[in-house]
Each structure stands twice: as structure tokens, then as C-alpha cells.
Amino acid sequence: MKIELYKLIAFFYIIFFIIIFNVYAGIIESRELSPSQPINYSHRIHVHELGLECSFCHENVEKSATTLPPPVSLCMSCHEAVKTESPEIKKLTKYYESGEPVPWIKVHKFKDWVYFSHKRHIKAGIDCSFCHGEVKAMDVVRKVRSMRMGFCVKCHEIYKAPKECNICHK
């Protein structure tokens, strides 16, 4: 009886350590695929229906290694007059009037030791949807690719891009 109990305890310890290792290694995604945002923003309306380009709001995407959400003032350049009675635009207006940025929650994240440059990928002609999916059709942005090393290495192989470790790893 004691041996069976020890086997059962050992089994659960092994399962526990496998799960912890996989979460730490990133094999099991520990981040949400579609986090709840402070303002419900639809890319489908702004990009698909209105025809805005990614770079209209994400102004620095072609010039910088990183990309940031647009400043609230850019949003308000339209929304001072458009849909002003919408509850979501009222939230946006509060951020604008207080001078605070909207605290958007990142959907696509890299580990701290990974260096990624949007600028290089845009210059290489990689369409945003290759990594981010068809954001223009999304009411809620969600992660559609793992953005893990295997995905990146496969892309570098396809596009004949450098694969040296120090290209992406700090």
C-alpha cells in the first residue's frame, strides 16, 4: 500500500514539474491570446471599413525597432467630432482630457532577451498580417501566431534572412 502511495505522489510531482518547465520554457502559453483592453477598439471598423493603414495609427512602425499604440491625441483628431456619444469614445475622451495614455495591454510580447525590429521586417516587405494575422478583420485583437523561436527561424529560412543567434538574441 505504501509503495502505491509513493508512486502516486511521485507521479503528481513529475506532472507538476513538467507543467512548470513547459510554462517557463514558453511551450505552454502563459499569456492570454486576447486580453481584455481598457477600451473596446475595433480594427475591423478602422482598417477594413474605413481603410486606415497600420502605419496611420502606428506611426513609428516603419522608422523604429518597436511600435507603440497611437497617442490619444491622434485618436481624438477624429473622435472630437465622430461618435462622441459612444461609451467607448467617452472613455477615450477621459484619457485625453487627463493627459494620460490609454493603458493598452500588449497582445504580442517577446521575452526580454529577444530583440525584434519592426522596421527591418517592414523594409523587407513582410506584411503585418504574416505575424499578426488579419487584424483588419478583428473586432478584438488576438494572438494568432506563437511568435516563438521556431516560427521566426522558419520565416528566416523562407526569406533567406540571417539566422545567427546575435541577430535576435541580446
| pLDDT tens string 122-137 | 888 888 888 999 998 9
Which structural domain range is residue 6 located in? 1-30
Contacts of 74-78 with C-beta under 8 Å, sequence gap 24+, read none
Residues 55 and 111 in one domain: yes
Residues 17 and 56 in one domain: no
Residues 137 and 155 in one domain: yes
Q: Phi, psi (5° rounding) for residue 169? A: -105, 130
Provide the 3-class DSSP secondary structure of residue 32.
coil
pLDDT tens per residue, range 68-97: 888 999 999 999 999 999 999 999 999 999
**Residue 32 near residue 140, CB atoms below 8 Å:** no
Mean pLDDT, range 1-22, rounded to an integer:
70
Residues 58 and 12 in one domain: no
Residues 4 and 37 in one domain: no
Residues 126 and 148 in one domain: yes
Q: How many folded domains does the chain comprise?
A: 2
pLDDT tens per residue, range 35-54: 889 999 999 999 999 999 88
Residues 15 and 39 in one domain: no
Give me the pLDDT at residue 83, please: 94
Residues 16 and 37 in one domain: no
Is 87 a domain residue? no
Provide the 3-class DSSP secondary structure of residue 127.
coil
Give me the pLDDT at residue 12, please: 66
Is 99 a domain residue? no
Is 75 a domain residue? no
Residues 160 and 119 in one domain: yes
Residues 61 and 109 in one domain: yes
Task: Say what the pTM is.
Answer: 0.70
Mean pLDDT, range 107-113, rounded to an integer:
86
Ramachandran bin of 82, using left for φ above 0, alpha for ψ from -120 to 50, beta for the remaining angles: beta
